[in-house]
Amino acid sequence: MYIRVDDTVKIVSGADRGAQGRVLKVLSDEHKILVEGINRVFKHVRRSQRNPQGGRLSKEMPVDVSNVMLVCPSCGAASRTGARYQDDGGKERYCKKCGAGIGRIAPAKPAHAKS
């Protein structure tokens, strides 16, 4: 999964299709992400010491990673991402539309370095 916190993603399916938002949290074991302002639901809360008025709270729920695409910071388009090795042996994410590097995934390894 090549999506990280603070990436901008575009929703490609579901009720919020076409909307963009910033990733707040990545739940890698569930294969879901939490996107700011997307997939909002109402949670009904009973009156208590913590919430004296009670009522309906609006909160974001996780979205499956298969329903979003990463927005490339350089070309601005929602595109697929891949991983490639750099010359020093480090691994980076890249945009498959424009080929620009998005960020490092793994530190440099001598086994993958190009001589």
Query: What does the pLDDT look like over 77-102, one tens digit per residue?
Result: 999 999 999 999 999 999 999 999 99
Query: What does the pLDDT look like over 31-50, one tens digit per residue?
Result: 999 999 999 999 999 999 98
Report the sign of the C-alpha dihedral through residues 70, 76, 77, 80, in that order: negative
Burial 45-81 (b: 16+ CB within 10 A, else e): eeeeeeeeeeeeeeebebbebebbbbbbeeeeebbeb
> Rounded distance, CA 23 to CA 1, Å?
13
The CATH classification number of 1-45+57-71 equals: 2.30.30.30
User: Can you tell me the mean pLDDT for 48-71?
Assistant: 93
DSSP 51-65: SSS-EEEEEE--EEG
> Rounded distance, CA 99 to CA 91, Å?
14
User: What is the value of pTM for the model shown?
Assistant: 0.83
Task: Please tell me the predicted confidence (pLDDT) of residue 112.
Answer: 87
Confidence band of 114 (pLDDT split at 50, 70, 90): confident
DSSP 110: G
- The ranges assigned to domains in the chain are 1-45+57-71, 73-115
Q: Rounded mean pLDDT of the chain?
A: 93
